[in-house]
Structure 1
Amino acid sequence: MPPVHLDPATPPGGTDPRQYARLLAQAHEAVLSGMAPPTPPRPVIAQSWERMMGTGVDPDHGSPPGALSPEEVERQRRACGLGDALDTLRGGLLSIADAAWHILVIADSQGRVLWRGGSRTVLAKARQLGFVEGASWTEETVGTNAIGTALVTRRPVQIHSAEHFVRTHHAWTCAAAPIRGPKDGRVLGVVDVSGPATTVHPSTLALVDAVARLAESELRTAHLGELERLRAVAAPLLARVTGRAVVTDRHGWVAAVTGLSPIDRLLLPRTVHEAQTWLPALGRCAVEPLPGGWLLRVIEEETAAPARAVLDVSRPHQASLTVEGPSGTWAHDLTPRHAELLFVLAAHPEGRTAAELADDLFGERSRTVTVRAEVSRLRRRLTGLLQHRPYRFADGVTVDVVRPARPADLLPHSTAPALARLRRPADA
């Protein structure tokens, strides 16, 4: 019989919350003592505890959170990209958190607390822990917690009582969900609801995640408005252009084209600041700045295939791809899904069928429609770099992969079975 994992969202029937917290505490103490726990924690908790013991976080007190100054907090509020979603987050959760003796916390992509609200009593208790505006709430600072662990895993998570790595946090329960930006898919921050451990409720995580998705929808609406304004600026310019040209925002989302088939997005280099740049999808382009974007005029010449690709997955939270071609070098930060796809293809130079990729990424060979759609999207953006039947890097392209020093840091957010296997030291 497979082991039963401790799950705060669905504790054993009839188990008192306090008794369940004691079971979690027994598992916590056993793991920290180097012993096998009587009942193992959930995989997401076990993996986080393993990271914490590898980084040396103090299980008794954590590390000093190192709060930002009020001026720095205000600056980060303006720069974090969550401003358009703030009303949605507050409106969806603040009153509920207050009534349930919880607090609402919004943190940026670095785990720094930018906004708090809710029950005054619980806010005062949070202050005693250093859970205040400007404080860092990453795993590296305060151990396993909903904000920090959601930033690592890139998915919603609920942390209850002794699932927190640091003992001083065992009196708390918290649920958090990441918020992704529509422009580049990066996590902009985390929304969290925290309170006394005795107030744990199985629906809290679902509610927090639903409000986070609603906030993402608000951000997408704001982004579409920005593209409309860019399109209005570009229209008279494109009317005078001869040949192929495209107008994009700073993240490569296309506002308008002329002489080209419609495309939703171009992968741009990390920085576009020269008069010319090279793009895998278009070749060499003349670059002109626009308010909020770029006008890219294609320089007509014979397009040559890329010669070398470097997939860098050495950083736990951000993968990148560098492509070298006859006309220059191009680099771009990858979304988590595209990083997974390219890593699996790099590990299988002979190629993968759609069914094999579905098994690699989802553990379900039947999900070929999802795989074909995602690879097709990636092939359009990386023209000449990928081939199909089977899916693989193009012939003649040298592929190098830069891996992290520790196998556990290999795309830690990914739940793909192929990546999970490679995080084991023996397989790596």
Structure 2
Amino acid sequence: MSYAPHDAYSRLLRGAHEAAATGRVWPAHPRGVIRASWQRSLDAGFDPEARSAPLVYDLSRLDDVRSAHPLHPLLPLLAGTLSGLADHLMIITDGRGRVLWREGGNTILRRADQVGLADGHEWDERVVGTNGIGTALATGRPVHVYSEEHLMRVLHVWSCSAAPITDPDTGRVVGCVDVSDTARTLHPATLALVGAAAKLAESRLALHMHERDERLRRRYEALRARPGVLLSPTGRVISGDPGGRLGERVPLGDPTAPHHDVTTAEPLAERRVVLGDGTVAVLEPFSEGYLLRALPAAAPPALTLSFLGEGLPSISLGDHERPVSLRHAEILALLALHPHGLTAEQLSFHVYGDDGNPVTIRAEIHRLRGQLGKAICAKPYRLACPVEADFLAVRRCLAAKDAAALAGAYKGPLLPRSESPEIRRERDELEAQVRACLLRHGSPEHLWSYAQTFSGRDDYEILERLAALHPTDTRAAAARTRLLL
């Protein structure tokens, strides 16, 4: 890049910088990534007149922090990758932009000390403003910050290229690699080289992760531990979920909770976790990882449908009884009669006939699911819980030709006010079968019970049978009276 474009851009940046520092409208804008960074920094209350990044680590304890950091084993790799930039300052930070390591010549190290480009100092955008490290961490991608693009004035003699490093095990950014210099600008290849170093570090972290996974998998198979889904210490799914139902990772809540090795005599501490689909499972520490075991599913509450007779239809889900509209009763009856489910189009036709509209049925199902929740599934619509229905009980009595049970179960027609074509067909068919079974197999007591229903009250053949009973039988007298009306 020639100096002329740099000079023009520097003049633009100086004007924008003065406006931003004084709260005035910017007369011109820097490039998009820098403009967004300036806005974030100013919104966080950053003062462009600050002189240095803050020291946030106790330097006497920094060695412990470094040795525990996942990038510590990769220092030779990163240094070797960037060795061609020997005249520059190389910095490696943690995921919050706090400097853990740096390398460079004595002259540039002294210049870096003056602005806090040194061990233990923090370079988050919120505390230092726009800079290569902080902006790369904020955006999650490699970025180059040219001198006057820094918000902190004392950094206008610096330029830097930085790239974040993401740990494939946790999915979180764990650090940043940065190359800085007091030159007017860095070579255009610097950003690409820094990005390549970050990608190389991520590849090495992934390799180490797969090696740990394989060790954990082999130990699990060797010990023949009880079945479950094997998880890494960070909740990644290693094996045991062939369908991928859990996704790549199971949230553990507190992944730093202490582990108990499976080979020790100590009882394993277990805790329950809620999975993404709302089910509950047991999380059991195993070696360096975890085993996830499903809890036996609790039986869903039964849905009881009371739709026979002249009274208002009602339903019960578990112990909770509630009234239900005729339209919703029709839908539930049809789903109970078709346990394998119905599409919206089929259900619409059964309820409304040729004038039905699937959109209307979907709206009704939506309202019904608001009352019954997961008791109704979709694609196709079906009942996903145990169902007890008075009309289904009548069907079972008919199949068994049990007249005594039938007389007690049949309370009257199925949803007598319904005009649904399918409900009317089912109602007429059920009525005919009940009547035929009782006339053929029923005792006077059974016939009298049927005569108390809406349809049996004026049934001529049923009343004739009852009228033929002994004259002193009160049922015979009642039947003769009805025959005379």
Amino acid at match of 1:74: D
Amino acid at match of 1:247: L
Alpha-carbon distance in structure 1 between the residues aligned to 2:298 and 2:276:
13
Match of 1:300, SS state, is coil
Query: Is 1:120 aligned to 2:106, yes or no?
Result: yes
Q: Report 1:130-209 matches (<5 A).
A: 130-209=116-195
Aligned in 2, Cα 1:228/1:16: closer, same or farther, shift over 3 Å?
same
Contact 2:53–2:123, Cα closer than 8 Å, also in 1: no
Equivalent position of 2:295 in the other structure = 299
Q: How many residues are matched?
A: 290
Amino acid at match of 2:46: V
Equivalent position of 1:287 in the other structure = 283
Amino acid at match of 2:217: R
- TM-score between both structures, scaled by the size of structure 2: 0.55
Match of 2:254 among 253, 260, 271: 271
Alpha-carbon distance in structure 1 between the residues aligned to 2:68 and 2:225:
36
Aligned in 2, Cα 1:30/1:122: closer, same or farther, shift over 3 Å?
same
Alpha-carbon distance in structure 2 between the residues aligned to 1:303 and 1:42:
60
Alpha-carbon distance in structure 2 between the residues aligned to 1:20 and 1:218:
39
Contact 2:147–2:185, Cα closer than 8 Å, also in 1: no
Q: Report 1:317-336 matches (<5 A).
A: none
Alpha-carbon distance in structure 2 between the residues aligned to 1:107 and 1:213:
15
Aligned in 2, Cα 1:303/1:198: closer, same or farther, shift over 3 Å?
farther
Contact 2:237–2:250, Cα closer than 8 Å, also in 1: no
Alpha-carbon distance in structure 1 between the residues aligned to 2:93 and 2:75:
11
Contact 1:275–1:286, Cα closer than 8 Å, also in 2: yes
Q: Report 1:310-349 matches (<5 A).
A: none
Unpaired runs of 5+ residues, structure 1, are: 1-10, 305-383, 390-428
Structure scoring higher RCO (CA < 8 A, sep ≥ 6) equals 1
Amino acid at match of 1:112: R
Q: Deviations over 1:231-258 (max 9, x none)?
A: 1111133x353xx511111122233328
Match of 1:15 among 4, 26, 44: 4
Give the CA deviation at 1:213.
0.7
Equivalent position of 1:91 in the other structure = 80
Aligned in 2, Cα 1:277/1:58: closer, same or farther, shift over 3 Å?
same
Match of 1:104, SS state, is strand
Alpha-carbon distance in structure 1 between the residues aligned to 2:180 and 2:64:
25
Match of 1:248 among 221, 231, 237: 231
Unpaired runs of 5+ residues, structure 2, are: 258-268, 301-373, 380-485
Give the CA deviation at 1:149.
1.4
Amino acid at match of 1:96: G
Query: Is 1:220 aligned to 2:206, yes or no?
Result: yes
Q: Deviations over 1:8-62 (max 9, x none)?
A: xxx6x66264554343223212332344444311122222222222233221225
Larger Rg: 2
Equivalent position of 2:16 in the other structure = 27
Equivalent position of 1:310 in the other structure = none
Amino acid at match of 1:80: H
Match of 2:249, SS state, is coil
Amino acid at match of 1:276: R
- TM-score between both structures, scaled by the size of structure 1: 0.61
Amino acid at match of 1:178: P
Alpha-carbon distance in structure 1 between the residues aligned to 2:211 and 2:231:
14
Aligned in 2, Cα 1:299/1:168: closer, same or farther, shift over 3 Å?
same
Aligned in 2, Cα 1:51/1:281: closer, same or farther, shift over 3 Å?
closer
Match of 1:15, SS state, is helix
Aligned in 2, Cα 1:30/1:281: closer, same or farther, shift over 3 Å?
closer
Match of 1:26, SS state, is helix
Match of 2:4, SS state, is coil
Equivalent position of 1:78 in the other structure = 67
Equivalent position of 1:61 in the other structure = 50
CA RMSD of aligned residues (A): 2.8
Contact 2:144–2:160, Cα closer than 8 Å, also in 1: yes
Structure with the higher strand share, 1 or 2: 1
Give the CA deviation at 1:207.
1.3
Alpha-carbon distance in structure 2 between the residues aligned to 1:111 and 1:388:
49
Alpha-carbon distance in structure 1 between the residues aligned to 2:222 and 2:230:
12
Alpha-carbon distance in structure 1 between the residues aligned to 2:89 and 2:225:
56
Structure with the higher helix share, 1 or 2: 2
Give the CA deviation at 1:155.
1.6
Give the CA deviation at 1:388.
12
Equivalent position of 1:337 in the other structure = none
Question: Sequence identity, in percent?
Answer: 38
Contact 2:94–2:176, Cα closer than 8 Å, also in 1: yes
Query: Is 1:109 aligned to 2:109, yes or no?
Result: no
Contact 2:235–2:252, Cα closer than 8 Å, also in 1: no
Q: Deviations over 1:168-227 (max 9, x none)?
A: 000000111100001121000110000014242222111111110111000000000110
